[in-house]
Amino acid sequence: MKSTGGSGEAKRNAGESAAEAVEDGMVVGLGTGSTAAHAIRAIGRAVDAGADVQGIPTSFQSRQLAREAEIPLTDLDSVAEIDLAIDGADQFAGEHLIKGGGAAHAREKVVDNAANRFLVVADPSKESERLNHPVPVEVLPSARTTVAEDVRELGGEPDLREAERKDGPVVTDNGNLVLDCAFGEIRSPGELASSLASIPGVVEHGLFVGMADEVHIGTDEGVEIR
């Protein structure tokens, strides 16, 4: 599994801290990435100990991990509500996030947004005063050139994400491509989010504006919850 940022111990502390918020009877959104993976494994241990929990995966990866952890799975169409979602981030500034380092941000946004409570798990390397990380934008393959032009008009520099272990681009779980779009410091995340969402051919972008209810920041020593 791809792992970025801080230490494994910091990620573990963040993930396990957020998993403590899971209660018996809950439906839980299961995020993607190396930090969320620690939460999934911890939830698996709670299930093993008898907790009645159902998970909604946000990606192929989180589905696989949840299966290995023997967490009963369901889907968005089958539940009245999602009690809690736990997910990682590539960068956070207060309650704003940039996600999509694992190219899973489309499903992540649907699940995290639908949850009554959304807990972000991260290590300190992900924190920034202002968002400035490139924004992953999932696009229909046929629209990658036109979307890239529109992103340039918004002042961004789009870069088609290449796969690390195959020739050619990353293909998302939804069969689409990803443009990593650098905008420098993002002064108005809400405005940029609306502009990106209105480009024809954009499936979803990785700006999660005002979405985090809590951020569990793990360090080697413990965790801070904000």
Query: Which residues are marked as active site?
Result: 108
**Residue carrying structure tokens 């736990």:** 86
CB nearer ligand 5RP, residue 18 or residue 22: 18
Q: Which amino acid is at 35?
A: T
- State yes or no: residue 17 binds ligand 5RP (CB under 6 A): no
Q: Which stretch binds ligand 5RP (CB under 6 A): 18-26, 102-110, 184-192, 218-226?
A: 102-110
How far is 226 from 209, CA to CA, in rounded Å?
16
Among 19, 27, 30, 36, binds ligand 5RP (CB under 6 A): 36
Say whether 101 counts as a known binding-site residue.
yes
Helix (H, G, I), strand (E, B) or coil at 164: coil
* Cβ neighbours of residue 21 closer than 8 Å, sequence gap 6 or more: 84, 86, 117, 119
Annotated binding-site residue? 94: no
| Interface region with ligand 5RP, contact rule CB under 6 A, candidates 85-93, 153-161, 165-173, 182-190 | 85-93
Q: Is 88 near ligand 5RP (CB under 6 A)?
A: yes
Nearer to ligand 5RP, 135 or 146 (CB): 135
DSSP string, 57-101: ESSHHHHHHHHHTT--B--GGG-S-EEEEEE--SEEETTEEE--T
- Considering only 101, 158, 189, 201, the residue that binds ligand 5RP (CB under 6 A) is 101
Query: Helix, strand, coil % (nearest 5) of the chain?
Result: 35, 25, 40
Whole-number minimum distance, CB 109 to ligand 5RP, in Å? 10
Residue numbers belonging to the annotated binding site for substrate: 32-35, 87-90, 99-102, 126
